[in-house]
Structure 1
């Protein structure tokens, strides 16, 4: 019950933030990665419907209260200026809401079912970057439909207004070699971080060896050189307005246990540039 109480408190705070969102003069920029919970996200990015890029979209914050469920969804203001991006944000939110409502419909009348409720969806979209060339938004939150933890909602959306398209991992590189380079760079960084954390914990040698082996296996599996393993990323701007890196984002359980939370690795433009698709090279700083 204590876990459920903390989860409910977090949802109430999010809903309070949603209520205040309309009063903000400008969007707040999120400072760090979301500390999400266990499970796989119910909503992931798919190819854009060409009609969505030009159709008018309205994004409205959501607060819903019901004995069986609670919903809090907030959007940064002004995203309607980018209809294609707005459509993707709304699609992600609607997919998460559909997942919640499917679980709610499965709730029975028994006292055990009533103890599991209310289920909840807490989802916040935050503006990370907005320039004429790039608009980046992060989605963070959780979907709770029973159990000790909610399902993490961890997503990034990188919109290119001048091209009227989403920058995705699938289109980032010309071929597979780029992912081999990114995979090697990210693996080295994550293995080093894991080793440093275990050293700081002053574990017995046998325990350290066991955790190093199991953690290393998760890292290697979660960073195999495939675009799908690097689907979530956000731009890192440089001093000249172009990008100096991409920050790849890994939800809990992809490259480490739940206790490690969301992990990120910045891959500099020098690693990316030789393999980028030609149409995206101008976005990145050389060297």
Structure 2
């Protein structure tokens, strides 16, 4: 592997690890405020910061998307993914929720055919049943204990997959910074509306009162870490290529497991770890069989 590729891979690994750090910060707010309100405040702060950066770099022209509806769709998808995931980590162990979201590449591969007209490769049909087995192993105790709430990470994975497909459709329609700003701007109104709906629903978990200052501070931290993480992943992709950095996303599982143990005393059982290994293995096989990808050579 070339030196620049190694640096790119390390940047991507740091970015994905930083995402899990932000997720752990979100989990510390469980019970302190509505998870939807947390998501709304996090994206509001992130959108404001990204807009300032975009204006300074590109001026007013940077705020003119070529396809506004597509950017709105990207925002809706990331809003749905965030609501599902933040709600999930409020009630599930961090590593468990993270492991279930790793079915997203399978969803991307399955949906790329009907939504983008791409050919669904034979490898997809091979790994999908294996990933399903992994999901069943992880859900095994949680679905009985928590009911449908345990399925929230799968909802997050589905929304994330739709976002990836929308990203493909919008490729080349702006700079990396503008694409990041557009998705945050698109997500924020949906999240604010969802937080308001949750509040009037009367559900105690979704009540939105005035948060403690520490909640607002933690939302700001998550906004900064998430934006920084996405930028690191972008820089890593730019240097090493998407195929090279793709498997590094699974470092999130390692970081989530360690932080879950250190901060919340969550210890995944053997079957949960086995399910996570199967899902990650399915994702790696899918990556390996993707045309244009190649193993990372020393």
Q: Please give the TM-score of this superposition, normalised by the length of structure 2.
A: 0.29
Pair member with larger Rg: 1
Q: Please give the TM-score of this superposition, normalised by the length of structure 1.
A: 0.30
Which structure's residues are more often strand, by fraction?
A: 1
Give the number of the structure with larger relative contact order, counting CA–CA contacts within 8 Å between residues 6 or more apart.
2
